[in-house]
Structure 1
Amino acid sequence: MTRIVQVVPFMSAGSGVAGVAWNLDRELRRLGADVEAYTFPDMRRGKGDVIRMRGRKTARIVTSWRVVWMSTVGTRRTRAYLAAQPDAVSIVHSNVTIGDVYVNHGVLFAAMRARGRAGLRLLIDPARVYVHFRDRARYRGHAHRRIVALTKAEVQTLRNSYGRIGMPVAVISNGVDLDAYRPPSPAERAEARELFRLDDEDRVALFIGHEFDRKGLPTAIEALAHAPTVLLLVIGGNAKMVADAQQLAEKHGVADRVMLLGQQTGVQKYLAAADMFVLPSVYESSGLVFLEALASGLPVVATRVGVAPEVVVDGVNGYLVDREPVEIADRLERIAAQLPGTYAVAARESVEGYSWAAIAQQYLDLANEIAAEKAAESAASARRA
């Protein structure tokens, strides 16, 4: 039985890295693997974060501190932990710079470059400078046996950002829970739309994302000015982001068609209420939300980022677009002109190969490959001795 240790800051059901690790843990166990997690609280030996304050600035300080701590102290403690179980294959989803497999959940410099003025964005934040050069050393060196990129395009992004990559790169996508995310029944759709007092003729585009600028919310709001039959439902953002987005909607004269709900949990009801999903992001390493929207039967209007180019087919289950408001508006209106549910079957079918069970099998195959390598190396070392 293959033993696997996932090194991850936190692990819980939901979205983000914590959700990825949680889903892999569940599915790897179902496949018969012996799985455990080594988390930030484990590294801290039960202690919490050193800084205990509130506010946006303090949150950034805590995040930066955690990044540096895990890259240094956390790496030393992870090395000791893994040394005590040399038969285990480690899958790293965190800032530590040791482990058999490192999963690239995003390239900081690529995200900044996509937004413009990358050098300035890098230099104004010492933590970003630290992460960039730490990862440059990671990818150009031999810190891991394998790198996992979440999309084919991300392999090239790594090369563009860091030049030579010193380790083999495997492409394994993130997955989607096909049971949790599915097209709603007529009753579920009616109940969800009643929450927002939507009429049958209302056509709703859903946007989900926290970093409004990077995810392209301003572009989506501007597009709404050219898509008069579409409403925009927005999930995510903090209080300031929401206030800024409200002002932008008023500037473009579409405030009456923009619903800004802030951060929410349980996004299925919002997916059930919507007719389409829009995310004109400048950069995504993967974009779990694309998979979740398609699994829920929604056509996706997206820029060519993350997994979107691998799953979205123009006119079949959505549209790939440039970050041009008029073009985005045209595609939203094309979808709005169709009967609700027109794209549901094609959208769902396009992601059926991305179940977490299928993704976990790819990780297990990779872990078995690495376990065989380690066993062969151990045997060769014993013969030399």
Structure 2
Amino acid sequence: MDFEIVQIIQEFTTAGGAERVAWDLAMTFGRLGQKNSVVASKTPEVPPENVTLRPIVEWLSRVPKRGLFRHVGRLVVVPLFTIAAQFARLPERNTVLISHGDTFYGDILVVHAVNAENLKEKRQAGQWAWLLNPMHAWVALRDRLMIGGLRYRRYVAVSSRVKQELMSYYHVPPARIAVIPNGIDLSRFHPEPGFRTAIRESFGIPDKATLLLFVSHEFGRKGLAPVIEALEKRDDPDLWLLVVGSDNPEPYVKMARKTAGRMVFAGERRDMERIYPAADLFVLPSAYETFSLVCMEAMACGVPVLATRVGGIEEYLKDGVNGYAITRNGDDIAEKLDRVLKDGHALDSLKEGAIRTATSYGWSEISRKYLSLAEEVLEEKYS
């Protein structure tokens, strides 16, 4: 049966995690000849090939969701788009609606993260600043309606951990949950030796230096502090750290007594396919993840990963194969750095293992899993 896949996401761009997933799914559906469209308030000026854009409440795209007042912007944009999406005009027959958390109804809900688990991790860590962010109240209500209300025929969990969280927090029947990991655009993220020299020169990083890369817009939750602690403990003059993300660097610069001169804060970047190949190791001692696209992007570029075993990371991070598991502890990170860097051959082996891992997560393979699930839902929906 011919059918159309309709994705709903507030921002159809390549900017972030869920946005990037929706984008890559749409592009791959188009390449595979699958009719597909996207409902969003923010869309690219030049429509991509083989994807129909269905813009709604476009004025929301002018409300800033990043920067100093990002929480205020999100509190306006996210609820209003979710409500407006209920009234979007969509094809009535032979359609499968995939939501990325931006509508109360649909056929397939892609669960990129379970916020209840995220907040649990923060409480256990003694972090309470989230109570000042009213977005969490909205997300809690939305998730109770979307997930707890079982308004979808299927739920896509991006990792086995997320599947367990859906069952635990919202009692979603396991038969209605499909585990499909996020994919990686292998045509964009791949080893490119030429970027190593160019990026390092642009930041004043020596070519011979061993470069660690940390990427996140939330330096605290993702564990930048223990990374700096590890660098301070090793105090290796050839070990540098490049930090990419829009969070405030000042508290972390103050932490670095010995290594401040070997730390570079690059701010927000949109050219990560150029940044990753410049690094030797990617490090992410995150408190909570569901899949972590940045880890997989790093691996695709031939950069081994040091990360905590949280969420989907634990499913693809293999000690001694493509990186090592770490804890949010400076001593442990320093010990893993010693293990990797004491032998140059070991680092080369990890790089090869990282590339092999990433190749099995290409979007062509992942998209076919979505198509299979969509066909299953379509047969159930119109039988």
The question of a shared fold, defined as TM-score above 0.5 by the shorter chain, is answered with yes
- Cα displacement string for residues 151-181 of structure 1 (whole angstroms, at most 9, x for unaligned residues): 1111112334x24125711111111111211
Aligned to 1:62: 73
- Cα displacement string for residues 296-332 of structure 1 (whole angstroms, at most 9, x for unaligned residues): 1111000012322111111121101221111111112
Amino acid at match of 2:74: T
Name which of 191, 209, 223 aligns with 1:216.
223
**Partner Cα distance (1:300, 1:291) in 2:** 9
Are residues 348 and 163 of structure 1, via their aligned partners in 2, closer, same or farther at CA, if it must alter by over 3 Å?
same
**Partner Cα distance (2:332, 2:289) in 1:** 20
Amino acid at match of 2:109: Y
Deviates more, 1:14-23 or 1:285-294: 14-23
Is the Cα contact below 8 Å between 2:280 and 2:304 reproduced in 1?
yes
Query: 1:41-120 to 2 correspondence within 5 Å?
Result: 44-48=56-60, 56-57=68-69, 59-71=70-82, 73-78=83-88, 81-82=89-90, 84-116=91-123, 120=128
Higher relative contact order, chain-length normalized (CA < 8 Å, sep 6+): 1
Structure 2 unaligned spans of 5+ = 43-53
Deviates more, 1:135-144 or 1:118-127: 118-127
**Partner Cα distance (1:21, 1:47) in 2:** 21
Matched, 1:159 2:167: yes
**Partner Cα distance (1:50, 1:277) in 2:** 34
Question: Normalising to structure 1: TM-score of the pair?
Answer: 0.87
**Partner Cα distance (2:220, 2:128) in 1:** 17
Shift of 1:374: 1.6
Select the structure of larger CA radius of gyration.
1
Are residues 344 and 325 of structure 1, via their aligned partners in 2, closer, same or farther at CA, if it must alter by over 3 Å?
same
Question: Normalising to structure 2: TM-score of the pair?
Answer: 0.88
Shift of 1:214: 1.0
Query: 1:241-260 to 2 correspondence within 5 Å?
Result: 241-250=248-257, 253-260=258-265
- Cα displacement string for residues 168-206 of structure 1 (whole angstroms, at most 9, x for unaligned residues): 111111111112111223x44333333334445411110
Matched, 1:203 2:210: yes
Identity of aligned residues (%): 32
Amino acid at match of 2:71: R
May I ask how many residue pairs the two structures share in their alignment?
365
Aligned to 1:235: 244
Matched, 1:10 2:17: no
Aligned to 1:382: none
* RMSD (Å), alpha carbons: 2.4
Name which of 364, 371, 378 aligns with 1:364.
371
**Partner Cα distance (1:303, 1:247) in 2:** 25
Are residues 89 and 330 of structure 1, via their aligned partners in 2, closer, same or farther at CA, if it must alter by over 3 Å?
same
Shift of 1:262: 1.2
- Cα displacement string for residues 325-353 of structure 1 (whole angstroms, at most 9, x for unaligned residues): 11111112222223263422111001211
Is the Cα contact below 8 Å between 1:75 and 1:98 reproduced in 2?
no
Aligned to 1:331: 336
Name which of 152, 158, 161 aligns with 1:144.
152
- Cα displacement string for residues 261-316 of structure 1 (whole angstroms, at most 9, x for unaligned residues): 11112012321221100000001111001111111111100001232211111112
